[in-house]
Amino acid sequence: MSGEILIVGGGMVGAAAACALSAEGFQVRLLERQRPDCAWPREGFEIRVSAISRASHNIFEHLGAWPEMVRRRVTPYERMVVWESAGGEIRFDAAELGEPELGHIIENGVIQCALWQVLAQRPEVEVITGAELLSLEPDARRPALRVRKGEQEERLEADLIVAADGARSQLRELAGIETRGWSYDQHALVCTLRAEKGNQATAWQRFMPSGPLALLPLEKEYFSIVWSTSPAEASRLAELAPEAFNEAVTRASEARLGELTLEGERGVFPLRLQHASRYILPGLALVGDAAHVIHPLAGQGVNLGLLDMAELVRVVVEARDRRRPLGHEQTLRKYERARKGENLAMQAAMDGFKRLFSNDITPLRLARNLGLDLADRLGPLKRLLVRNAMGTLGELPPLAR
């Protein structure tokens, strides 16, 4: 019994799932709106990047996609500095942990294209583009998806259907799975900058009452920034003349990296917290942003999605080895149990951070500064924080080890 799996969404998480499941011998059909544009080299940097944890790096190595990411462009960072304007500061250093780096900054397109390149060499994977989803028939043994392609309607059956179609998952909607959450009333302004003092293999994050500013190192003297602030301020910053924007971002970073200069376009993304009420139905599993969307301040979104994928692969392989239906609720419940609590905890922690640092009440500010400084001096707490950010705490699915 090999098993057929239908995945909707070929973004970073869905493409990784297709690589992992085909490597396990499953027949995979991957539905994606359109094939990504993977031409390389390209001019400039993409504005969407991800801070990739050690656990995700391990997954990409296991899937055989890491060498292609390296061939394109990945930037390791060895240090991280988190500070608040009023004085509190914490520094993390890979050397203190005996690690070569804390993580890597990688453009989202580089990740997706390296995974698609692995898929292109897999005869077990059929890619279907441009199909419109019409309806879902959940079933523990043979769930099915009705789609329209051009004039044709088709019914695609499988042993399991995976929703990896992102935060606005249509498949989740067709399944009638509700989400809970709220808008953060913050938008993230995203762009590439050149820094006078170079990248120093360091990621920076400053907490301000209006929201955090993260500066993630790219090659040489370049940085990708994620500046979370009120929607009105984000639009204002996006429309400022380049010189005025350079001045504003240099000031916001307290010129720690010297003068900052805008390179290319700016993008604005609304931020929300969202969690699916359940991750599974008979014959269906949600992974990645289709299941949960968290604040980008800790750069964990795709890392959590990749761990979902790795855990789902683990339970599906186990079910096949025991000759159990892949889409049986008992099988999928194991996946949900392993991932939902962990994702909720990370989401709650990031939400708490965001609220704590969005507040300018003096006692809170003092407590925060004290907290950051204290954490900086307490070796074990600091190591715990950083291991958590590297995704190497707790029990990991085999693909992430």
Ligand X SMILES: Cc1cc2nc3c(=O)[nH]c(=O)nc-3n(C[C@H](O)[C@H](O)[C@H](O)COP(=O)(O)OP(=O)(O)OC[C@H]3O[C@@H](n4cnc5c(N)ncnc54)[C@H](O)[C@@H]3O)c2cc1C
The count of chain residues that interact with ligand X, using the rule CB under 6 A, is 31
In DSSP notation, 187-199 reads: EEEEEEEEETT--
Helix (H, G, I), strand (E, B) or coil at 35: coil
Pick the closer one to ligand X by CB: 2 or 135.
135
Q: Does 31 contact ligand X by CB under 6 A?
A: yes
Q: Does 164 contact ligand X by CB under 6 A?
A: yes
Q: Does 107 contact ligand X by CB under 6 A?
A: no
Residue 98 region, left (φ>0) first, then alpha (ψ -120 to 50), else beta? left
Helix (H, G, I), strand (E, B) or coil at 36: coil
What distance in Å separates the CA atoms of residue 97 and residue 45, rounded to the nearest whole number? 30
Least distance (Å) between residue 369 CB and ligand X: 25
Other Cβ atoms closer than 10 A to 163: 31
Pick the closer one to ligand X by CB: 301 or 325.
301
Pick the closer one to ligand X by CB: 32 or 336.
32
**Which one of residues 133, 249, 338, 372 is an interface residue with ligand X (CB under 6 A)?**
133
Q: Among the candidate windows 9-17, 313-321, 334-342, 364-372, which touches ligand X by CB under 6 A?
A: 9-17
Quick one: angle between helices 12-23 and 54-63, nearest 10?
50
- Look up residue 149 and give its two tokens: 């392609």
**Which one of residues 269, 278, 364, 371 is an interface residue with ligand X (CB under 6 A)?**
269
- Look up residue 312 and give its two tokens: 């789902």
Least distance (Å) between residue 368 CB and ligand X: 22
Exposure on the CB side of residue 279, measured as CA atoms within 13 A: 28
Q: Does 3 contact ligand X by CB under 6 A?
A: no
- Helices marked H in 262-322: 301-321
Q: Does 237 contact ligand X by CB under 6 A?
A: no
| Chain residues 195-234 in contact with ligand X, contact rule CB under 6 A | 226
**Which one of residues 192, 274, 300, 358 is an interface residue with ligand X (CB under 6 A)?**
300
Residues 192-218 as b/e (b if ≥16 CB within 10 A, e otherwise) read bbbbeeebbebbbbbbbebbbbbbbbb
Q: Does 8 contact ligand X by CB under 6 A?
A: yes
Least distance (Å) between residue 319 CB and ligand X: 23
**Which one of residues 186, 303, 331, 343 is an interface residue with ligand X (CB under 6 A)?**
303
What distance in Å separates the CA atoms of residue 232 and residue 229, rounded to the nearest whole number? 8
What distance in Å separates the CA atoms of residue 201 and residue 218, rounded to the nearest whole number? 9
Q: Among the candidate windows 31-39, 70-78, 177-185, 274-282, which touches ligand X by CB under 6 A?
A: 31-39
Burial class of residue 82, CB neighbours in 10 A (0-12, 13-18, 19+): buried
Least distance (Å) between residue 50 CB and ligand X: 4
Q: Does 103 contact ligand X by CB under 6 A?
A: no
**Which one of residues 33, 71, 220, 383 is an interface residue with ligand X (CB under 6 A)?**
33
Pick the closer one to ligand X by CB: 46 or 289.
289
Pick the closer one to ligand X by CB: 6 or 12.
12
In DSSP notation, 243-255 reads: HHHHHHHHHHTTT
Q: Does 188 contact ligand X by CB under 6 A?
A: yes
Binding site for ligand X (CB under 6 A): 8-14, 31-33, 50-51, 133, 164-167, 170, 188, 190, 226, 269, 288-289, 296, 299-303, 305
